[in-house]
Structure 1
């Protein structure tokens, strides 16, 4: 899914999200606290008999607050910030959720008990402000910051210190009107600015919390025939009863909204909640961001090794091209030997008939220091040297190409990985010698469970498994799958091993599994992808082969177009 350039999480969307969170979370108890990623806090809040994982994201690219169902991976050791949040918030009650003056700032008022057992009010604040986004815990009475997910010192911001112990200062106020507080500034604006785009800019400058897309939509509504006040109120009312709406734009990107944004296009899909909408909208982009954070050094190592090996391959191929003259050396040696009686010592060249090519004259360079027979011998020894070089260079090309294929495959796995898969890919690269071993991490590694391939269910109920890294791929294909099951893989393209757990899958199941193989491959964005399929009994792993590498024979090939909607349809309900 292509994400739009529109930043839809503006003040009115925040208003709608606060409406949703207020309904679901009020008076809920904080039961679990995790910081799975550098800029993200997840509080599990139990309210009305349901556990809601609430994401507070200060990610510079995708900041937001929402209930999330996207699984996350916790670090082996909790961060200091997570430990502080547990100290203050474990078991506390969420007594209020308020947005500040239609800005992208949300205050969660939390009632807890201090060490003496006295009730204490804390405020967990999320500021959704692009790269300045932050999550801050403040004592309501003293306004002192207890902790903050991103520390901001005086060298970064003189006006606002965001450090434990500092006094919390609200973000600087803009001189704008709250659109939800009754005012009629828009009436004059509509009269003064008949051009819709200019009106949108004026609305954005005058009113707090109107992003570009919201101001364009409101300008379009106010320009409709009829009473402007009615249109203005109708625009705002939808954020009190929001509908999670996904809209596909003319450039095929998508944007999200909390209601009717017909100015941009008709709804492509509607969701039960804004949180479900954001999970769907951000699942790829936000996961990519999380993977980038966790796999930074892996991506760098693999990139560098790929570059090094591709350069090596070029040089080897150049060397091979240079050694192609070996046969010509042998030929000259043989012709010299045949006509040795015509060669005189002291000659620097001789022209002799080439009996391999219709006796046409062939010029042969000679050394005037050597005897005729030594000259011939020199050609034979040069021939032998080059022939040996061809064999060696051929072997080196094969090894280097295998290395490139392996690293290319790893790079694809990192690109397609969920954060949970990164630890295993890191472990594999350490075992293969691409990363240095950290002695301190040995204990953590041994205690971690082997992750399982992703499960899918075909339309007819057949189970399909997809390996997401080499460890899973080897386990799935060589250990878990039965010999009669079917194995699928993109043809000559890095990707996942896919197993259909059936000895006689239907055509539809084969096509669906092929789609999964294409989707979980380097060719995800291609139009037509060749996918080989064969029974597991035809697969074998060569001795000494790198993780994830197998060879097979007797395969058939299907051509499919990767389809995200189909992948979602085949994903069993969690």
Structure 2
């Protein structure tokens, strides 16, 4: 993820100071509301004469930033920092924003009762990687609240706690870039110690980031890792030209945002193959960082859920094996009763001290070996076998329903596991929403602890139902559930009587719905396309063929008390689905590819 550097901050501030939101100058603006969307981000709702822009401030360790943004959903984290901001800033006017120092990444947001009044509150946003922070300060310089507290034990140089005086971060000692610096002096400074040219730019001057230094080298046609002692005079001159171009843009605030294959640029440089379009700076930053953070959150949550599911399934399978062993033992109940009956029928053959008797079976006449306790007589040994028989019968009656319940749990969690495998990579916010629905489902089923946002996530997911959508050869819609919650909604709330419902036979997979207008008839090609998708979005997706059942939605039922996604059906027909055919449709229409399980990775193929 590309971090926000000084150049980007200067571009954002230049845009905010000179920008117009809906034709209305941004500053001054009245603070109407403040909402904290996560541990590191607040959104300030502003009001100008003609518009109501939203300003996002984030001190995220990898994505600290500031820019205008869309209004967030009403659901928000109720955190102490946002409460302090509400109490101290609501109703005040944002009158000014500026860098504390033009070469430092600390922004001072100044708030006052009226635009002409001196500031009563300062909100400092320190954009410094993992040390980023947001600090609210009063007019006397005392800290009122901070996004991330730093105790004296953590930092004796600069603790950050409410009640302490605010101190700016220690100033950098590197030289400040100057446009007036001669080429010879600039070259001598960089070439003094041989090393990669991009690294030397970073170490010799302040205000640069790794991304900017590498982009500057690429713009000059120089690989960033080229040692300084291998640069030709022409390459030095080309690099100095783009160095001067960067400084000129900073001085004149001439910025041109654009996307690049590596991230984005605010300088309009095209050396790295950037997108020729010039999007709005704030829209670019919002889209880029939201996508990057969503992708990281998706991967982190998916890994966490996958590990939890693997642990749950391991325990359940161990329990299943234990119950199966108990059931196998209980199957010997009749043998115990037979031994007791034989002993009672042949008491006259017993002799003291016997540890084994061989007696003829009542029906076959074959000899049956019966181990005995030599300390007991034949009657006591028979009574022991009767007690064992009763215990085994009780175990058989008790264990069988437990074994069935464990088997049902395993089937359900395997269905959830298959859902996670289909959510293999992040492509759009709907993937993250589907993953959160899986988490909410597991919370509601009691497999995960319930965070405070669980109910809110459920409501949010209800409003954002968005299954995969495909088109059949005849132009009919085919909908595929992304998770068990969507499977249930698809089958029992969306499906109409004229539709067709599909599912891979006897294996975990998504519910698939071939949607038909009233009176329409699906051709065999349409049914086959839906069957192929049902096979693809199932645990059998790496097989050549998968049996797929299909029936009308009215023939699909949900057993009472069953978990999400678990159904029974009747009047079904069977088609053979080919996942390979469905993959072509998936790639054409942009659905994500499922993750390949470890056992099917190419490294393990014979």
> TM-score, with normalisation over the residues of structure 1?
0.69
2:559 pairs with one of 542, 566, 574: 542
8 Å CA contact 2:126, 2:133 repeated in 1? yes
The reply to whether residue 400 of structure 1 matches residue 406 of structure 2 is: yes
Bigger shift: residues 335-344 or 153-162: 335-344
Q: 1:154 to 1:276 in 2, by over 3 A?
A: same
Q: Which SS does the other structure have where 1:171 is aligned? A: coil
1:451 pairs with one of 449, 457, 462: 462
8 Å CA contact 1:514, 1:531 repeated in 2? no
Bigger shift: residues 330-339 or 541-550: 330-339
Q: Which residue of 1 aligns with 2:427?
A: none
8 Å CA contact 1:176, 1:205 repeated in 2? yes
Q: 1:508 to 1:103 in 2, by over 3 A?
A: farther
Separation (CA, whole Å) in 2 of partners of 1:512 and 1:171:
60
Paired residues for 1:71-220 under 5 Å: 71-75=72-76, 79=80, 81-82=82-83, 84-85=85-86, 87-90=88-91, 92-93=93-94, 95-98=96-99, 100-110=101-111, 112-113=113-114, 118=117, 120=119, 123-138=122-137, 142-164=140-162, 166-179=164-177, 182-183=180-181, 184=183, 186-189=186-189, 191-192=191-192, 195=195, 197=196, 199-220=197-218
Q: Which residue of 2 aligns with 1:62?
A: 63
Paired residues for 1:384-463 under 5 Å: 385-386=391-392, 388-403=394-409, 429=443, 451-455=462-466, 458=469
Q: Which residue of 2 aligns with 1:311?
A: 315
> What do residues 365-420 of structure 1 show as CA deviations (whole Å, max 9, x unaligned)?
2344667687678657645643553453342233234445656777978x998589
Bigger shift: residues 469-478 or 103-112: 469-478
Separation (CA, whole Å) in 1 of partners of 2:264 and 2:545:
30
Q: 1:481 to 1:13 in 2, by over 3 A?
A: same
Q: Which SS does the other structure have where 1:392 is aligned? A: helix
Q: Which SS does the other structure have where 1:173 is aligned? A: coil
Measured on the aligned residues, the alpha-carbon RMSD in Å equals 5.7
Q: 1:223 to 1:270 in 2, by over 3 A?
A: closer
Q: Which SS does the other structure have where 1:479 is aligned? A: helix
Separation (CA, whole Å) in 1 of partners of 2:91 and 2:478:
40
Separation (CA, whole Å) in 2 of partners of 1:129 and 1:511:
52
Q: 1:331 to 1:158 in 2, by over 3 A?
A: closer
> What do residues 233-254 of structure 1 show as CA deviations (whole Å, max 9, x unaligned)?
3456688433332426xxxxxx
Q: Which SS does the other structure have where 1:135 is aligned? A: strand
> TM-score, with normalisation over the residues of structure 2?
0.66
Q: Which residue of 1 aligns with 2:5?
A: 10
8 Å CA contact 2:501, 2:514 repeated in 1? yes
1:45 shift after superposition: 4.3
Q: Which residue of 2 aligns with 1:484?
A: 498
Q: 1:365 to 1:425 in 2, by over 3 A?
A: same
> What do residues 337-378 of structure 1 show as CA deviations (whole Å, max 9, x unaligned)?
78976993133224578999997x875423446676876786
Q: Which SS does the other structure have where 1:397 is aligned? A: helix
Q: Which SS does the other structure have where 1:44 is aligned? A: strand
8 Å CA contact 1:16, 1:241 repeated in 2? yes
> What do residues 158-199 of structure 1 show as CA deviations (whole Å, max 9, x unaligned)?
44354455443221111123447554554224544665x2x2
The reply to whether residue 245 of structure 1 matches residue 259 of structure 2 is: yes
Structure 2, unpaired ranges of 5+: 223-233, 424-429, 593-606
1:204 shift after superposition: 1.0
Q: 1:45 to 1:472 in 2, by over 3 A?
A: farther
Separation (CA, whole Å) in 2 of partners of 1:238 and 1:186:
19
1:150 shift after superposition: 2.8
Q: 1:513 to 1:452 in 2, by over 3 A?
A: farther
8 Å CA contact 1:105, 1:125 repeated in 2? yes
Structure 1, unpaired ranges of 5+: 249-254, 569-574
Separation (CA, whole Å) in 2 of partners of 1:85 and 1:66:
20
Q: 1:325 to 1:485 in 2, by over 3 A?
A: same
The reply to whether residue 345 of structure 1 matches residue 356 of structure 2 is: no
Separation (CA, whole Å) in 2 of partners of 1:564 and 1:65:
37
Q: Which SS does the other structure have where 2:54 is aligned? A: strand
8 Å CA contact 1:177, 1:207 repeated in 2? yes
Separation (CA, whole Å) in 1 of partners of 2:280 and 2:379:
91
Paired residues for 1:28-67 under 5 Å: 28=27, 29=29, 30-45=31-46, 51-67=52-68
Q: 1:8 to 1:395 in 2, by over 3 A?
A: same
Q: Which residue of 1 aligns with 2:325?
A: 321
1:81 shift after superposition: 2.8
> What do residues 33-58 of structure 1 show as CA deviations (whole Å, max 9, x unaligned)?
21122321012346796654332112
8 Å CA contact 1:81, 1:147 repeated in 2? no
1:316 shift after superposition: 4.4
Paired residues for 1:230-269 under 5 Å: 230-234=241-245, 240-247=254-261, 255-258=263-266, 266-267=273-274
Largest Rg, 1 or 2: 2
Report which structure shows greater RCO (CA 8 Å, sep ≥6): 1
Q: 1:381 to 1:217 in 2, by over 3 A?
A: same
8 Å CA contact 1:424, 1:471 repeated in 2? yes
